[in-house]
Amino acid sequence: MSSNKNARYNRFSSGTTSITTSENTNGTRMETTFGPAYSAVTTITKADGTNTFKQHRRTPSSSSTLTYSPRDEDDGMPPISTPRRSDSAISVRSLHSESNMSLRSTFSLHEEEEEPEPLVFAEQPSVKLCCQLCCSVFKDPVITTCGNKISCSISALADSLSLLLPHLAEKCPVDNAKLTVVVNNIAVAEQIGELFIHCKYGCRPAASSKPAAFEVDPRGCPFTIKLSARKDHESSCDYRPVRCPNNPSCPPLLKMNLEAHLKECEHIKCPHSKYGCTFIGNQDTYETHLETCKFEGLKEFLQQTDDRFHEMQVAMAQKDQEIAFLRSMLGKLSEKIDQLEKNLELKFDVLDENQSKLSEDLMEFRRDASMLNDELSHINARLNMGILGSYDPQQIFKCKGTFVGHQGPVWCLCVYSIGDLLFSGSSDKTIKVWDTCTTYKCQKTLEGHDGIVLALCIQGNKLYSGSADCTIIVWDIQNLQKVNTIRAHDNPVCTLVSSHNMLFSGSLKAIKVWDIVGTELKLKKELTGLNHWVRALVASQNYLYSGSYQTIKIWDIRNLECVHVLQTSGGSVYSIAVTNHHIVCGTYENLIHVWDIETKEQVRTLTGHVGTVYALAVISTPDQTKVFSASYDRSLRVWSMDNMICTQTLLRHQGSVTALAVSRGRLFSGAVDSTVKVGFL
């Protein structure tokens, strides 16, 4: 800062200075006092003793004389002196009663001439704060470099990014290097913000022909303010032009005169005009009107209605935001779906390629298997010629045929050995009767259930079927006709077994015992204490074996009492089979548990399946015992109970294998693929 400016600062900061301008014959006196930080207060004392204060923030003037003159129209004072102003001085003028012509001119200036915004400094800024490209005070100062260095600390500042961009191809005015923006100069911006300017409502276009030039308007706002605080002051300035809120046709006003105008305005509307009231008048008639306005008595109701309407608008705005958000999310989701479709197409292409390769490998494997079978046959033939006789290391089951006809998954199978008939129950709510001896065709389809057929059982010449419709139907096997229907349970009947002229039916947490009397079923007892669905029921000799959740309960059929409970650790029990020496169960967790039938001790856990073991069946001969297991993994496994190993795996179904039945060395399997396969040794 220059030495002259320091002198000016020191002069005003040392204390307050009081300047009395004049005193007229009426006894009115005006005194202006300057304090620290250039705070000016003008005190006007009238003859009656009343005081009027005017406070301004301003910069010190280079001139040592400051002259102020109030308007004689306002205060009744004769002119004291002609206003004088140095380069940075301000004449304090009152605009309480300007003429309409000058007021309209001021209003037009500040309301319509928005661009460019007036900028008149109280003191001429230092040349170091001016851009060397446009010669104006910096707006958005930035530092430029020339090559790899800063050309100047301050002198190489550009006016603003917006002004700098057209000059990027130009050279620096200091060292003629190409201009390149580095960073905004915050320090210089803050220094410029501390400069004092005149309020824009105290400026008018200059008389010179220079465009965008302004000068101090003696009739406007007398305040000087910091450039950085400009918006705060001008938003509340008393000299700011405003419109009458009652009627746009009212003459333009200054903010300081608005309150007085509203008291005299002839265009005051009723506060209920938005509801339909047409009253327009002055303040006196306004108060009289409110006493008779028909809307005044309803104002609370109208206010509540407005509040509700506002709440609805807020809610609608929120909903609009939610809709916009959902639309954006939908757009993103669509993009993701498109991407997934592309990825899926690529994966399908890879899958097709892998499938072709697997088909080729399978054909090669079949050729190798055929060669091995031929070699095995040759070895067997050579062994049969020896003294040991024929030797078959392993009996092999082979699929010999398929029963097709159901329109849904097959859930249960039952064999009537006397007539070589096979019964199959399905999701299509029917029972099909298959000839397994001569024609190998469906003899008849039994219809009568309203739900999935889940269980089948034969006692004598009667067939009993349990269904998801909670009923048991009795069928005469001789003529394949329905003879009775019993409402058995409150939940689907999922298992059936018969023994000792009794029928046992399993459902949710219950087993019912029925006495078989001809075609009738008489409820004898209900076995309780079960904690889940009874998915497996097997009767062997004098015992009934039931599987529910992770327990197998053994019941004495003679007194219908539970005599033993076996616990599993491999999930819920889905299937049970009983051999001469073992109790076998299949579980949800892909395991097969084996217990000793005498000691009830678990002796082995068989693994190999990779899905729930839905069904078990047993074929026993004097020489060996085989257990067959059917699984969700679409496979059938053959287990030798002599050494507890899997001797064969059959993959013949296209879906989960859900049911098994054996008869005369034949194995029948039903599956979700709606077919029944027939296997022979």
Q: Which domain holds residue 496?
A: 410-629
Q: Return the pLDDT at 387.
A: 35
Start-to-end Cα distance in the chain = 114
Any idea which residue has 């419709």 for tokens?
Answer: 469
Q: Are residues 133 and 87 in the same domain?
A: no
8 Å CB contact between 558 and 586? no
Amino acid identity for residue 80 in this structure: I
3-state DSSP of 382-438:
HHHCCCCCCCCCCCCCEEEEEEECCCCCEEEEEEECCCCEEEEEECCCEEEEEECCC
Backbone angles phi, psi at 674, to 5 degrees: 75, 15
8 Å CB contact between 602 and 585? no
From 156, 188, 220, the end of a domain falls on: 188
Determine whether 633 is exposed, middle or buried from the number of CB atoms within 10 Å of its CB (0-12, 13-18, 19+): middle
From 382, 401, 434, the end of a domain falls on: 382
Calculate ∠ Cα 441-442-443, nearest 5°. 110
Residue 432 Rama label (left phi>0; alpha psi -120 to 50; beta): beta
3-state secondary structure of 532: coil
Question: How many angstroms separate the CA atoms of 349 and 352, rounded?
Answer: 5
In a domain, 175, yes or no: yes
From 591, 607, 629, the end of a domain falls on: 629
Q: How many domains does the chain have?
A: 4
Calculate ∠ Cα 143-149-154, nearest 5°. 35
Regions of the chain with pLDDT less than 70: 1-115, 145-182, 209, 211, 378-395, 681
Q: Are residues 564 and 454 in the same domain?
A: yes
> Which residues are paired to 502 by β-bridges?
499, 515
Question: How many angstroms separate the CA atoms of 166 and 169, rounded?
Answer: 7
Q: Are residues 488 and 599 in the same domain?
A: yes
Q: Are residues 178 and 63 in the same domain?
A: no
Structure tokens at 339: 């991407």
Question: How many angstroms separate the CA atoms of 37 and 577, rounded?
Answer: 105
In a domain, 237, yes or no: no
From residue 59, how far is each of 14, 16, 86, 220 by CA, in Å?
15, 14, 12, 17
Q: Return the pLDDT at 622.
A: 81
In a domain, 261, yes or no: no
By C-alpha distance, which of 25, 21, 98 is closest to 66?
21
8 Å CB contact between 554 and 544? yes
Q: Return the pLDDT at 59.
A: 39
8 Å CB contact between 54 and 42? yes
Q: Cα-atom radius of gyration of the chain, to the nearest Å?
A: 53
* DSSP at 177: P
CB atoms inside a 10 Å sphere around CB 277? 16
Question: How many angstroms separate the CA atoms of 117 and 670, rounded?
Answer: 91
Structure tokens at 553: 């309960």
Q: Are residues 422 and 479 in the same domain?
A: yes
In a domain, 480, yes or no: yes
In a domain, 173, yes or no: yes
Question: How many angstroms separate the CA atoms of 195 and 38, rounded?
Answer: 13
- Rounded to two decimals, the pTM is 0.46
Please, what sign has the CA dihedral across residues 432, 490, 514, 615? positive
Q: Are residues 620 and 540 in the same domain?
A: yes
Q: Are residues 363 and 484 in the same domain?
A: no
Question: How many angstroms separate the CA atoms of 493 and 472, rounded?
Answer: 8
8 Å CB contact between 576 and 585? yes
Q: Return the pLDDT at 444.
A: 95
Q: Are residues 480 and 365 in the same domain?
A: no
In a domain, 193, yes or no: no
Contact residues for 156 (Cβ-Cβ < 8 A; gap 6+): 132, 143, 144, 146, 150, 172, 174
Structure tokens at 201: 């409502």
How far is it between the farthest Cα atoms of the chain?
160
Q: At what angle do helices 255-264 and 283-292 cross, to 10 degrees?
A: 60
Contact residues for 514 (Cβ-Cβ < 8 A; gap 6+): 486, 488, 502, 503, 504, 505, 521, 522, 523, 524
What 264-271 contacts at long range (C-beta under 8 Å, 24+ apart), as own/partner pairs, is 270/295, 271/299
By C-alpha distance, which of 5, 150, 10, 26 is closest to 77?
26
How many residues in total does the chain contain? 681
Q: Are residues 351 and 463 in the same domain?
A: no
In a domain, 520, yes or no: yes
In a domain, 106, yes or no: no
Question: How many angstroms separate the CA atoms of 216 and 676, rounded?
Answer: 106
Q: Are residues 523 and 419 in the same domain?
A: yes
pLDDT tens digit string along 351-365? 999 999 999 889 888
Q: Are residues 505 and 580 in the same domain?
A: yes
Any idea which residue has 């851009």 for tokens?
Answer: 131
3-state secondary structure of 137: strand
Q: Are residues 179 and 87 in the same domain?
A: no
pLDDT tens digit string along 630-673? 999 999 999 999 889 998 998 989 999 999 999 888 899 999 99
Q: What torsion, rounded to 10 degrees, do the Cα atoms 442, 446, 447, 448 define?
A: -160
Question: How many angstroms separate the CA atoms of 472 and 400, rounded?
Answer: 33
Backbone angles phi, psi at 149, to 5 degrees: -140, 165
Any idea which residue has 């007036």 for tokens?
Answer: 118
